Structure 1
């Protein structure tokens, strides 16, 4: 995966990105008053090979002028039908307000559909108002069953032509 959006480059994560991507996510969480949880909800950022790449997911890095300014990822989960969860979609303030989040979400949805998945799940926190607005504006439906402590909202979207009800709950890798 390698693409451009305006002056942003979006590419696959590589091992040398580990600390930089973790720092971007940590900065955004702090900005919104959310805790960085390297032993919990953010363990996956430090173990990308195991939590994303080895499970059939992807982890992308967003760069601008040679600097990492954002991340986005997904991995398969057992909740729902042929489902994935989008995770770690964070942008530093300098990368916001230019349509990049909407573009990233669209690219993720295309990649997920191309791999044959039918449902996308997203957990987020109400304090991330821009994210909530983005997901709702792109057709994500509110659901129940939040699995991550700092999140208080969960959304889902069906990519198949015949929508199914989100009834199955399982635990994916967090």
Structure 2
């Protein structure tokens, strides 16, 4: 992945991004009063090779002026038929409200569809109001079976 949105670069994660990507996610979680969980829900950010690259998923970072300002990722899951879960979709406050999140979601969906997956699952927290609105406005349907402790919502979207 190497895509531009305005003056932002969306690209594949590299080893040198590990600490900076983790810092973005940790910051956004703390902004909403949610905890950074390096031994649990956020272990995948510190072990991208194992959780994403080795399983057929992808982990992307968003750069602006050589700084990482956001992340987005997905990996295959055993839930439903040919399913993936979109994970770690976070943007720093300074880059929200300009359509970047919407564009990132569309790019993730396109990559997922191109790989032949049929279902996209997303877990989130009600407190992440902007994320909830984004998913609901893009055809994600509420489901049951939240698996992540800090989340209280799960959505699914079926691809044609």
The verdict on a shared fold, with TM-score over 0.5 as the criterion, is: yes
CA shift for structure 1 position 7 = 1.1
Corresponding position: 1:84 with 2:84: yes
Q: Which runs of 4+ in 1 moved over 6 A?
A: none
Q: Which residue of 2 aligns with 1:107?
A: 107
Q: Which residue of 2 aligns with 1:144?
A: 144
For these two proteins, the number of residue pairs brought into alignment is 160
SS in 1 for 2:154: strand
Q: Under a length normalisation based on structure 1, what TM-score does the superposition of the two structures give?
A: 0.91
Q: Which residue of 2 aligns with 1:164?
A: none
SS in 2 for 1:30: helix
Q: Under a length normalisation based on structure 2, what TM-score does the superposition of the two structures give?
A: 0.99
Q: Distance in 2 between matches of 1:67 and 1:83?
A: 32
Bigger relative contact order, structure 1 or 2 (CA pairs below 8 A, ≥6 apart):
1
Corresponding position: 1:13 with 2:8: no
Gaps of 5+ in 2: none
Gaps of 5+ in 1: 161-174
Q: Distance in 2 between matches of 1:134 and 1:74?
A: 17
Q: Distance in 2 between matches of 1:146 and 1:100?
A: 26
